[in-house]
Structure 1
Amino acid sequence: MRIALLTESASVGTGSAEGGWCDRLTRELAEHEFELYALGSVRAGSAHAGTEPLPGRLSGLRRADPRPAVLHGRARRRALSAYRELLRSLVEPAAAEGFGPALYALAEAGRGGGLAALLRSGAALRLIETAWKAPGAVAVSGSGSAGEPLVRDALVAADLLANCLRALSAPWYDERRPEGLGAADLCHALGGGLAVLPGLLAKHFYGIPLIITEHSLHLRERARGYRDAPYRRPVRALMLTFFRLLAREAYRQAGLITPGSSFDQRWQVHCGADPATVRVVYEGTPGADLPAADAEPEVHTLVWIGPAEPYGGLETVLRAFARLRAEHEGVRLLVHSAPAGGSRAAEAGARHCRELAAELFPEQPEAVRFQAGDGSRGGAGRLRDAHEKGTVIVFSGTEGPRPMLVAEAMLSGRPVVATDVGAARELVGPTGLLVPAEDPEALAAACSALLRDPERRARLGNAGRLRAQELYAVEPAAVAFRDLYLELASRLPNAETPFGAPAARRPFGRTAEVRVAAESPVPASALAPPADPGAVTGRPRRAGAMLAELRRRAVRPGPEAPEQRRAPSPDPVPVGAGIGAGLGADFAEGSGVGTGAELVGALSGAEEAGAG
C-alpha cells in the first residue's frame, strides 16, 4: 500500500522523535511504500535545511509550501464566509458543532491557493473582532478588564490561526499533481493536533481512511504549554478551543486511533473518540535490544528525570532527599532535567530548585548535582548514561511522565520509584514502587526501603526490564501496525459496487489490478469500458472528478436514474473510479444516506455552508 505519513514537525531526520519512530516503522514494514508529508517549514540557512537524511525507507518528503496565489471574487467570499463560521464555532459554545463543516468549506474555497494570504489580511482581522463582539460569544474570562479582547489580541489571534491553518494551503489536494494525497491508500498522522489536518482533508476530498498515533496526548500537551504562553486570556481561550474542537473532529473521522497507553486511551474516549476505534500500541524502542546497565555505582545515587516545570515534581524529590540523607549517609541525588532555554516556567522552576538545594544542603554542595539533558524528548544516549550512574530512578511529577521515559528507565535494569499518576501504574505495574503525588515522606520511605535491600533492587530491576521489553520491543509494534493497516484496507468498499447500492464489504475489494490498471501506459478504455456513454475514455479519472460525477448523477431526475446506476464491468477499473464508487457506497451504508439527494447534501454540505 501507499501510506502517507503526516507530521507537524519541521525536523524529520533520524535524530528527531518523529524521525526515529518513522525509521523503525518503515524499516520493519518494508512491504509498504511510505511518503512523509511535513507541515513544518525549515528556514533557509538553518541546521536542518537540506542536510537531514530521510529516516528509514521513505520514498520521498513533501513540505507544505503554500502556493503564491490570491483569492478573488466568489472564491474569496466563500472563504471569508467559511472563516466567519469557523470563528463563530470557536467563540460561541452553541455553534461548536459547526467547526467541522466550516473547516472543510474553508479548505474547499482555498483549494487552488491564496488562503494563506487571505487569513492574514485585514478582512480576516475584522472577522475576528466581530466574532468576539457577537452576542453569543464567550471571550471574557476573569474579573475586571483582564479578559476583554483588545486590538492586539485580534492581531495575535489572526497570526496564530493563519499558522495553524497553513495545512489547508498545501499543494496536496489537487488530483492533477502526482505528489498529492489522492494517490495514497491511507493516511497515518504521527501525533494529534495540526498533523491530522491533511488527513482530514484527504478523507473529505478522496475518502482516504485515516489512522492517528499519539504517543502523548497532543491536546493535553497544548493545554499544558499555554499555561506559560505570552498571550492574554482571550487568545489562549480561542486557541485552546481550536485544538479541542480539532481533536474532537479528528477522533470522529479517524478509522483507527493508536494511543501509547491505556491512560491516553481513556482521555481520547473522554474527548470524543469512539471506543471501538481506539487500540493501544506501545511505542517501540531499539533500547529494548540493548543490554542492561552495568553494576551499580559505589555510592548510592538517586536519579531524578523529568521537566523542570512545577508539575515535574523536582521540589518534592529535593525535600524527600533531605529526609533520606538523614538516614543514609553519603547518598547523592542526580537531577536530569530538560536543558536550559525552555519555557519561562521551566527556567523559573529550575532556578527555584537550585536555590532550594543550596538552602537544604548549605554545607554539602556535592549532595545534589544538576545535569542538563533532554528529559522530555530524545537524548537517549544521555539518559542511558544517567541510568548507569544511579541506584534508583525516581519520577515524582504530579501529571505523570512520558511513557517512553519510564520505559527507558525500566530497560536499564534499575528499580523505579514513581508517583501514582498518569500511566505510571500501567507501565510500572508490580515491578516498581508507587507513591502518592506531592508526598515527600512517602517518597523518601520508598527510596530508603530499596537502598537498604540490594536483593530487592536487583529483583525489581530485572522484572521491570522484562516488562518493558515485552511492551516496548520494536517488532510487536510493527506487527500491530501491519495488522491495523490491513484492517483499514479491508474496510474499503468493493470497487465494483454500483452507485447507490449497499457496499459489498468484501475484504480487499480494491485489488492489485486496480492500481496496475491506473498506472499502466495502456489506455484506460482498453482496460475498463466506461459505465455510461458520457464517461471520459482518456486518462483514468481520479477521486475529485469522480465525486463531481457522483453529484451530477445523484441529482438527475426521471426514470432513467436506475439504469445509470448499473454496475460497471468486472474488469480492472481505474483507481479513481474505484475510490469514487467506494465513497458513494460508504456514504450509502456507513452514514445512512440512502437517496441521491441526501448523498449530494452529505458531499456538498461544506460547500453550501461556505457559500453562505
Structure 2
Amino acid sequence: MRIALLTESTYSNAQRGAGWCGRLADGLVEHEFQLYLLARGERPGPAGAEPGPPVRGLTAVHTLPMWGRRPAGRGPAAHRRGPYRKAYEQLVRALVLPAERSSFGPGLYRLAELARADGALPAFLASGHAQRVLERVWRSPGADTAAGRPLVRDVLVAGDLLEQCLRPLAADWYGTGPGGIGAADLCHVVGGGPAALPALAAKQLHGIPFVVTEHGLHLREQYRSYRTAPYRWPVRALLLSFFRLLTEETYRQAAALTPGSAYDQQWQQRCGADPARIRVVHEGSPAVAREAAGPEPEQPTVVWAGPLEPGRDPELMLHAFAKIRAELPGARLRMYGEEGVPGYRAHCAAIAARLGITAAVDFEGRPGSPAEAWQAGQVVVFSALAQRSPRLLADAMLSGRAVVATDVGVAREVVGPSGLLVPPRSPLAVAGACLALLRDEERRARLGLAGRLRAQERFAVEPEVTAFREIYLELVSRWPAFPAGSGRRLQPFARPAEYWVAGSARPEPAAPAGGDQEPATGASAPGALAEVL
C-alpha cells in the first residue's frame, strides 16, 4: 500500500531518525511511505547539518516551506481572477459571518482546484484583489470581528497569515505520477492543522481517504498560543476562526481519527467528530525498553518535573513540600525543568524562602535525560492544573518509581490504579500522598512496579504499529476502489497480493498509466529520509 504521511514540523527535526514517523515507517515495512512535510523555514536544512540514518520503509521526503517569504510565481490570468475572488470571498465570509460557516469547505476546495490548475494561489492571496475582498467582508455588517474595527494593518497582517496557512493548497504534490499524493492509496495526517489541507485536497481531487492522528490537539494548542500572539485581537479572532473551521472540516471528512488518549477523544467529539470513526491509539515510546531506575537515594527525596510555569503549578508542590518537611525534617525536593515564563524561577525561589524550605529545595534545571530525573528521587510528583499529554507521565512510570499526580486531563487514564491521584490545588492532599509513600518502602516498590508494567503495556511501540496496520487495511478495504469522478487510474494497491509471497522474484510495478507523470518534487537525499515529528 502507498501511504502519504502529512505533517508539520521544523527542519531541525529532519535530522532525527527515531521519532514517531520513523517508527511507523520502520514498523510497517510492507507498505511504502512518502513524507510530505510542512516545514517552518525557508531552507532545506541548517548549514553543515549531517543527514540522519535512512528510515526503512520511508522512500522519499517532500518539503514545503510554510512560513516566511511566499513562493515565487505570477498571479492568475485576468480571466481567472474572478473565480479566485469568488472562492476566496466564500472562504472569508465563512470565517467572519456566523450564518455562512457552511461555506468554508466549498470555498476551500474551490481554491484547491484553482491552485491545482495554475499554481497562482500564493500570488493571488498576496495581491490587492485578495486584500480588498478581505477588508470588505471583514467590515461587513454582522461580522464577528466587525466591532473591533479592523485597521488597514490588520487586513495586511491577516492576509499574509492566511496566505501562509493556505500555502499547502498550492504545493506541487497533487499529481498522480511517482511522488504525487494522487498516486497514494491512503493519506495519514499527523498533527492536524495545516497538515490536513493536502489530505483534504487529495480527497477532493482524487478521492483518496485519510486518517488523522493527533498526539495533543492542534486546535487546543492554537487557542493557547494565540493568547499571547503579537497581533491585535481582530487578527487573532480571524485566525482562530480559520483553525476552528479547518478542524471541524478535517474531522468531518476523515475516514478515521486516532487520538493519543481518551481525553483528546472527548475534545474531538466536542468539535463535531463522529464517535464511530474514533479509535484511541496510545503513542508508543521506545523508552519501554529502558531498564528501571536503580536504587533509591538514601535520603527521602521527592522529584518534580516539568516547565516552571503557572500551568504546571510548582507553587502547589512547594507548599506541599513545606508540610512534608514538617513531618520528615530530612526530606528533600528536587525540581527539574526549564523556566517556562521569564522570572518564574525567581518567583518559586522566593516562595521557598518564605516557606523556610530553601535549604531543602534544589532547582536542577533541565536534566540530561528524563531517566536522570526519576533516578534522583523516591517519589515523582506531577502537580499540573491541566495534564494534556501522557508522555511525561508514562516516562516516569517506566522508571519504576511511584507516581503521585493531580487528577486532571489524562492523569487518571494513564496512571489508573498504579499510582496515587489527588485533587488539584490541594497542598494537603499532595503532602499526604507523598508522606504515605515515603514512609512505606514496600508500597512504593509495589506501585512502582505496577506503574512500569502498565506503561509498558499501553505505550509499547508494537501495539501502536499493529493498530495502524489494522486501520490501514480496514479503511482501504471498505473505501471505494473506483470513486466517481476522481480522474485517476483507479487501482487500490500498487502491487498484487502475489508480490508479497513470491519470494525474491518480485517484478517492479509498472509506471502508472494515464496520470500526470510528474517527478517527485522536493525529494531529499537518502540520508534525509529520517524525518520525524
Contact 2:189/2:199 (<8 A) preserved: yes
Residues 523-559 of structure 1 show CA distances to partners (whole Å, capped at 9, x for unaligned) of xxxxxxxxxxxxxxxx822399xxxxxxxxxxxxxxx
Q: What does 1:230-249 correspond to in 2, within 5 Å?
A: 230-249=230-249
Partner of 1:368: 361
Q: 1:335 to 1:266 in 2, by over 3 A?
A: same
Moved more, 297-306 or 271-280: 297-306
* Matches of 2:494 and 2:197, distance apart in 1: 28
Q: 1:360 to 1:116 in 2, by over 3 A?
A: farther
Contact 2:2/2:493 (<8 A) preserved: no
Partner of 2:495: 512
Partner of 1:156: 157
Question: Which of the residues 366, 371, 392 maps onto 1:384?
Answer: 371
Q: 1:71 to 1:230 in 2, by over 3 A?
A: same
Residues 435-472 of structure 1 show CA distances to partners (whole Å, capped at 9, x for unaligned) of 11111221111111111111111110000000000000
Contact 1:79/1:110 (<8 A) preserved: no
Contact 1:13/1:53 (<8 A) preserved: no
Q: What does 1:77-156 correspond to in 2, within 5 Å?
A: 77-111=82-116, 112-139=118-145, 147-156=148-157
Q: What does 1:482-561 correspond to in 2, within 5 Å?
A: 482-495=469-482, 512-513=495-496, 519-520=509-510, 540-542=513-515
Contact 1:23/1:55 (<8 A) preserved: no
* Matches of 2:394 and 2:59, distance apart in 1: 31
Q: What does 1:40-55 correspond to in 2, within 5 Å?
A: 40-44=39-43, 47=46, 51-53=50-52
Partner of 2:387: 400
Contact 1:219/1:243 (<8 A) preserved: yes
Tell which has more relative contact order, 1 or 2 (C-alpha 8 A, sep 6+). Answer: 2
2:459 matched to 1:472?
yes
- Residue 99 of structure 2 aligns to a residue in which SS? helix
* Matches of 2:208 and 2:464, distance apart in 1: 23
Contact 2:387/2:410 (<8 A) preserved: yes
Question: Which of the residues 54, 68, 73 maps onto 1:68?
Answer: 73
Partner of 2:531: none
Q: What does 1:575-590 correspond to in 2, within 5 Å?
A: none
- Residue 11 of structure 2 aligns to a residue in which SS? coil
TM-score if structure 1 supplies the norm length? 0.76
Partner of 2:220: 220
Partner of 2:526: none
* Matches of 2:379 and 2:27, distance apart in 1: 34
Contact 1:415/1:461 (<8 A) preserved: yes
CA RMSD of aligned residues (A): 2.7
Q: What does 1:149-548 correspond to in 2, within 5 Å?
A: 149-175=150-176, 178-337=178-337, 339-340=338-339, 346-361=341-356, 365-373=358-366, 382-495=369-482, 512-513=495-496, 519-520=509-510, 540-542=513-515
Q: What does 1:561-576 correspond to in 2, within 5 Å?
A: none
Q: 1:105 to 1:449 in 2, by over 3 A?
A: same
Partner of 2:529: none
Give the unaligned 5+ runs of structure 2.
66-70, 486-490, 500-506, 518-533
Contact 1:288/1:469 (<8 A) preserved: yes
Partner of 1:588: none
* Matches of 2:47 and 2:215, distance apart in 1: 24
* Matches of 2:438 and 2:335, distance apart in 1: 18
Moved more, 478-487 or 296-305: 296-305
Deviation at 1:347, TM superposition (A): 2.3
- Residue 39 of structure 1 aligns to a residue in which SS? strand
- Residue 19 of structure 2 aligns to a residue in which SS? helix
- Residue 369 of structure 1 aligns to a residue in which SS? strand
Deviation at 1:168, TM superposition (A): 1.1
Bigger radius of gyration among the two = 1
Q: 1:307 to 1:93 in 2, by over 3 A?
A: farther
- Residue 155 of structure 1 aligns to a residue in which SS? helix
Q: 1:102 to 1:85 in 2, by over 3 A?
A: same
Partner of 1:565: none
Q: Which amino acid aligns with 1:135?
A: P
Q: 1:486 to 1:136 in 2, by over 3 A?
A: same
* Matches of 1:540 and 1:113, distance apart in 2: 24
- Residue 418 of structure 1 aligns to a residue in which SS? strand
Deviation at 1:127, TM superposition (A): 2.4
- Residue 357 of structure 1 aligns to a residue in which SS? helix
* Matches of 1:494 and 1:385, distance apart in 2: 51
Give the unaligned 5+ runs of structure 1.
142-146, 375-380, 501-507, 522-538, 545-612
- Residue 237 of structure 1 aligns to a residue in which SS? helix
* Matches of 2:225 and 2:347, distance apart in 1: 20
Deviation at 1:179, TM superposition (A): 2.2
Q: Which amino acid aligns with 1:249?
A: E
Deviation at 1:305, TM superposition (A): 2.0
